Structure formats: structure tokens, C-alpha cells
Amino acid sequence: MMRVSDSTMVGSLMFHLQRARARQAETQIEIASGKRLALPSDDPVGFGKVVDYKTLLAATVQRERTLNLVAGRLDETDSALQAASSSVMGRAKELAVAMTNATNSPSERTVAAAEITGLIGQLLDIANRTMDGQALFTGSTTRGRVSGLSLVVPTTITASVNDTLAIVVDGVSSGAVTLAAGSYSTGAALAAQVESAINADATLAAAGKAVTVSFASDHLVMASHSFGALSSVTVTSGSARNVLGLHGGTTATGSAPFSLGVSASADPLNTGSAVIAPGVVTDRNALTGDDYLLTFTDSSSYAISSVSTGTVRASGPFTSGAPIVFDGIQLSLDATGAGAGAPAANDRFHILATHQYHGDATDAVVEVGDGLTAPTLVNGQSVFGDTNDGTDAFGVLQTLARALRSNNVDGIASAHRDLDVAANQITTALGTVGARANRLVGAQDGLASFHLDVRTLLSRVEDIDIAKAVSDLALQQLTLQAAAQSTSSLLQTSLLNYLR
């Protein structure tokens, strides 16, 4: 027989006791944490699954947050469109119907015109509504831009005659921009040449400034590549201004999707050569919504009068490039730059109330699944602008206000018909937003179900069966106590233990 020494037996007993205590301690930790996996060594395969499930769960939670945020924006958009449809367009149609009645006096129509001007401001607030700092109707971004006057194509650029421009982009002045001479048969070709020449300017390129030039129906639009309140484009001089339709127009920054403005243009019968810059709104609250006529009483003096009332709003001596400020509007005329000259007596310049959209025609989208997106917010151009045979809501309201001021009943009736089209356009947008909100609800429900499924899978791998763990702990406690008592008995080998 092999004899087992006391030390070997004791060592074996102590090893098994310590292992039992360690397993008991692990079970206690599992019960306390509710998790059976704390370290990769606990279960390498299971731990890998836990990492995968938690990564998937984090992505799902983030997507749920995004969808909840978008759902809130869609609700706000719905509210904004409801207000535009009822409070603005509904009231404007009521006024248009009422003011076509022959019993209304010119003074009553003037009062109605003032109310329409207020509705234009209300619609502007709706169109520029934001949520969490993001505009609802901006498309993908807002950029400062200048919109020129109507021009005729084909357009001919002649070297040393009408081929230069100078502009300011985001506060940075360009050098002398020279266009390539030639005949441009389409507006798109002309826009491409202007864009290429401007973006090749060394001063602008060194400052990281650039523009996108497009041809919109009958005029050039020059937009900065930057966005926000500091984004702007201004044409300051150049012999090409007249041929490009940039001897007037309107300009604004990208601070909001929509802005009220004024479009400035020279009368075609002018005999002088002064060039008017696009008008800028400096105080929206001071705007009257009226159109104006700037007339040179002689080559060095001007007067600005209201088209509807004939009231002189501003007058004084003319200085080339000096700002002229009145009724919340600022503009200037150039008589010394390239392509410009002195004004002549009786030269006239038209200043018309207008507006600009600084966003784009892209609807916002949200990711609803891996590689799957859905459109959400509608862009302002499709709601309030003139697209897809629609009607420009701001434009028709301004047209109605002009007709009311001039006591033009036929003009009021025509504007009323256009109001119906613009109102229907907003109603269509409401339906689109509602459909997208419903789709988003479905996506949210699907994500919630998927979230629950992933949590269930994670729990099966990671969590303990608490009832089983408690039972195991009790059994381990009994086993450990019995083993300790047995070990204690086996180790009582001294003769003194038997001497009583």
C-alpha cells in the first residue's frame, strides 16, 4: 500500500476548500451584479457575443434618439404649416374676396394692404421657424447670395469692353475678375464661365472663398460656399455688370432660409450710366412693403418716393458709393467704377419689395435602418416657392398688397386666384409631412421591437438565472460547511485529542 503523508493530505484538503470558497465568492458576485460574465476568461465565446450585442444596442439607441428628434421636428413643421395655411393664407384670401367688392373704398383697400404686409411678416416668421437651432424649411443649408436682374441669352462678352467683375465673398474682396470673351448661347454656359472666373481669383482662393453660380429661369444667382449669417456675396463693380444682369437685383446673408428684401433696377430709358447696387434690408420692422422710385432731379441730387402714394421718403445730394437709407432699406449707386458713369437728370431707378430663399431644394433625410434612409423635413422652396407649377407664396402676397394699394380690383382678383394655388401648395406640404410622420412612427415601432430583441439576446448570454444562482449559493454553503467539518475531523491526529 502507498502511504499518504499528512502534509499531502492537508494540502489537498486545503486546495479543495479554497476552491470551494472561491466559487462561492464568484456566485455571490454574480448575484450582486446580476451578470454571469465579468471578464473575457469567464466565457470567451459568450463574452464576444456580449460585445457584439452591446455595440448593436448602442447603435439602436442612438438611432431611436435621432428618430425621436426628427419626430419632434415633423410635429413642429406640421404646426407651422397649419399656421401658414389658416392664419396667413386663409386670412389673405378672406381679404382678397372682401376687397373685390365694389363698395370698398381706396382707403379701405389701403388698410387691407397694410394687413397683408403684416401677414407677409407672419409668413416669414413661420418659414424661418427653428427647433433646437435648426431651421425647419432650409433644405440642407442656407447660403448668402446675390440674385441678378433678368438677362437675355445668348450673351456676348467682349474683351476690354464688358469682361470684368469685382465681388466680395464673405467679407473678402476679390481682385479684378476677367471673364473669357465669347458668345454664351445658354444661361448655364454663362453661369459656368462666371463661376470659373470668380473661383480662379487668387485673393478669394487664398482666403478659402468660393461661389456657385447658377442660372435661374432668366437671371444669375451667385451663392457663397459658406453658410450662416456670415455667408454673403456682393457685386461691387465691373464692366460686365450690365450684360450679366448684376447692375441691381437683391442680396442677403444666409442667416435664415427666407428674408424680405428689395430688388433694385435701372429704368431702361435712363440716359446716364450710374449703376445701382442690390438693396439690403437693414431694419425689417421699418419696412412698409411698398415699392419706390428713385429719381435724379439733376445729375447730383435725388429723391425717393413711394409708388403707391407719391410721398417723398428720402432726398439729398448724390455721392457715388455712399449709402442711401430709408424705411429700413439701404442701397447705393456707383458712378465711378468700371462700367459705371454719372447719372443724368430724370434718370430713374425702381426699388421693389421682394424676398429671397437662401436654402436649397433638398429635403432632409434620416437613417431608419442600415443603408436605408427616409425623407423627413420639406424644403422651403417646395412649400413657399415657385416650383413644379406652384406659386410663390411671398410673391403673390406682395402682388396682392400692390393691387390693394393701387386700388386695382382686377389685380386683386388675379392675386386671389394665385392665392388659391399657393394655399394648395402649402396644403400639399402638410399631407407630405403627415405621411412622413406616419412612416417615421412605423420605423420607431420597428426599432423599439428590435431593441427589445437585442436586449433579450444579451440577457440570455450575460445575465444569470437569479433563482438558480441563489439555490447554487445555498448548496455551496452547505457543501463548504460539511467539507470544513470533515477536514477538521481528519486533521485531529494528535494523541492529546483522545486523552480525556
Q: What is the pLDDT of residue 380?
A: 92
Contact in structure between 376 and 363 (CB atoms under 8 Å): yes
Task: Looking at the structure, tell me whether residues 191 and 312 fall in a common domain.
Answer: yes
Q: What is the pLDDT of residue 36?
A: 61
pLDDT in tens, 421-463: 999 999 999 999 999 999 888 888 888 888 888 888 877 777 6
Name the grid cell of 354.
421682394
Q: Is residue 324 part of a domain?
A: yes
Domain of 391 in residue numbering reads as 28-138+367-398+409-488
Task: Looking at the structure, tell me whether residues 154 and 119 fall in a common domain.
Answer: no
Q: Nearest CA to 121 among 283, 325, 280, 363?
A: 283
Q: Is residue 442 part of a domain?
A: yes
Amino acid identity, residue 328?
G
**Average pLDDT for residues 283-301, to the nearest whole number?**
92
Task: Looking at the structure, tell me whether residues 36 and 134 fall in a common domain.
Answer: yes
Task: Looking at the structure, tell me whether residues 210 and 335 fall in a common domain.
Answer: yes
Q: Is residue 116 part of a domain?
A: yes
Question: Global pTM?
Answer: 0.79
pLDDT in tens, 106-161: 999 999 999 999 999 999 999 999 998 889 998 888 999 999 999 989 999 999 99
pLDDT in tens, 57-90: 888 888 888 888 889 999 999 999 999 999 999 9
Q: Is residue 337 part of a domain?
A: yes
Q: Is residue 90 part of a domain?
A: yes
Name the grid cell of 175.
481682385
pLDDT in tens, 156-188: 999 999 999 999 999 999 999 999 999 999 999
Q: Is residue 403 part of a domain?
A: no
Question: With 50 as the cut, is the pLDDT of residue 1 above it?
Answer: no
Task: Looking at the structure, tell me whether residues 128 and 65 fall in a common domain.
Answer: yes
Task: Looking at the structure, tell me whether residues 311 and 384 fall in a common domain.
Answer: no
Task: Looking at the structure, tell me whether residues 98 and 152 fall in a common domain.
Answer: no
The C-alpha cell 469685382 sits at 166
Higher pLDDT, 317 or 29: 317
**CATH (domain of 429):** 1.20.1330.10
Q: Is residue 429 part of a domain?
A: yes
Q: Nearest CA to 148 among 272, 240, 263, 270?
A: 263
pLDDT in tens, 196-225: 999 999 999 999 999 999 998 899 999 999
Task: Looking at the structure, tell me whether residues 78 and 172 fall in a common domain.
Answer: no
Task: Looking at the structure, tell me whether residues 229 and 321 fall in a common domain.
Answer: yes
Q: How confident is the model at residue 419 (pLDDT cuts 50, 70, 90)?
A: very high
In angstroms, the CA 287 to CA 394 distance is: 15
Task: Looking at the structure, tell me whether residues 163 and 282 fall in a common domain.
Answer: yes
Question: With 70 as the cut, is the pLDDT of residue 8 above it?
Answer: no
**Average pLDDT for residues 92-112, to the nearest whole number?**
94
Task: Looking at the structure, tell me whether residues 476 and 463 fall in a common domain.
Answer: yes
Q: What is the DSSP string of 231-288?
A: --EEEEE-TTHHHHT-SSBEEE-BSSSEEEEEEEEE-TT--S--EEPPBEES-GGG--
Q: Give how many domains the chain has, as a whole number.
A: 2
| Share of residues in the chain with pLDDT > 90 (%) | 57
Question: With 80 as the cut, is the pLDDT of residue 379 above it?
Answer: yes
Q: What is the DSSP string of 151-173?
A: --SSEEE-TTTS-EEEEEETTEE
Task: Looking at the structure, tell me whether residues 115 and 153 fall in a common domain.
Answer: no
- Residue 320: exposure state from Cβ atoms within 10 A (0-12, 13-18, ≥19): middle
Which of 299, 330, 359 terminates a domain? The answer is: 359
Q: Is residue 466 part of a domain?
A: yes
Q: How confident is the model at residue 361 (pLDDT cuts 50, 70, 90)?
A: confident
